[in-house]
Amino acid sequence: MNNVPLLVLELANSGKSKRPSGIREAYFSDPFENRETFLEFLKQLKHPNLNLNDSDSLTINLDEIKLLCETVEQIVFQLISKKEFSLNAITNLNESAKDCCWAHQLSQDGTYSDLFQSGTLAGIIASICVMELAKCDVTRIKTCNRIACGLYFYDTTRNRSARWHDENPCGWRTRSERRK
């Protein structure tokens, strides 16, 4: 799961302010402003299962996707705080994931990849979230220790010791604030 952005966490973080390295103030840009901003938000993730070249033919219901994001945030929150999947949220996620049809496609290197054939964008997103939550090690999903940040992240360190969503900026900021 290394280096691949987890759509689950990107969605769960989508309602939070971000303050990347080199930026003075945290800012919030709402990916749900309109169809274009949301597609842009998805495209910059470069997610391997999310090919949006054909996005014109997709049914995109932003309100539905926004609800889905809230469900995903709820799942991640409960995973971290209660160490379990909540049945209600999972039922909602699974229901959304039904609106999507995948095809296994063989690649030249002998592996297969999943390509979506049809469905709504909400269905595709939900379906990817289902795969990710099932495949990833949920004990590695954490909240950034820097209170001002609070972003969810996936700890890829060997000994699961990461406390900040990214060493730079959050770990570095925490240490330089302590020194003051």
Instruction: Name the residue nearer to Zn ion (CB basis): 66 or 165.
Output: 165
Nearer to Zn ion, 104 or 178 (CB): 178
Bridge partners of 120, per DSSP, are 59
Residue 77 neighbours by CB under 8 Å, 6+ apart: 12
Of the ranges 4-12, 34-42, 86-94, 168-176, which one interacts with Zn ion (CB under 5 A)?
168-176
Q: Which stretch binds Zn ion (CB under 5 A): 34-42, 51-59, 117-125, 145-153?
A: 145-153
Position 165 contacts Zn ion (CB under 5 A): yes
Contact between 128 and Zn ion by CB under 5 A: the answer reads no
142 near Zn ion (CB under 5 A): no
**Among 149, 152, 162, 174, contact with Zn ion (rule: CB under 5 A):** 149
Interaction of residue 75 with Zn ion, rule CB under 5 A: no
Residue 9 within binding range of Zn ion, rule CB under 5 A: no
**What is the SS3 assignment for 58-82?**
CECCHHHHHHHHHHHHHHHHHHHHH
Contact between 100 and Zn ion per CB under 5 A: no
Alpha carbon separation from 26 to 30, 50, 66, 142, 153 (Å, rounded): 13, 28, 22, 20, 17
The SS3 assignment for 27 reads strand
> What's the closest the beta carbon of residue 94 comes to Zn ion, in angstroms?
30
Q: Is 165 exposed, middle or buried (0-12, 13-18, 19+ CB in 10 A)?
A: buried
Determine the size of the site formed for Zn ion (CB under 5 A): 6
Q: Is 170 in the site for Zn ion (CB under 5 A)?
A: yes
Strand partners, 29: none
Beta bridge partners, 59, equal 120
* Residues of the shown chain interacting with Zn ion in the complex, contacts defined by CB under 5 A: 144, 146, 149, 151, 165, 170
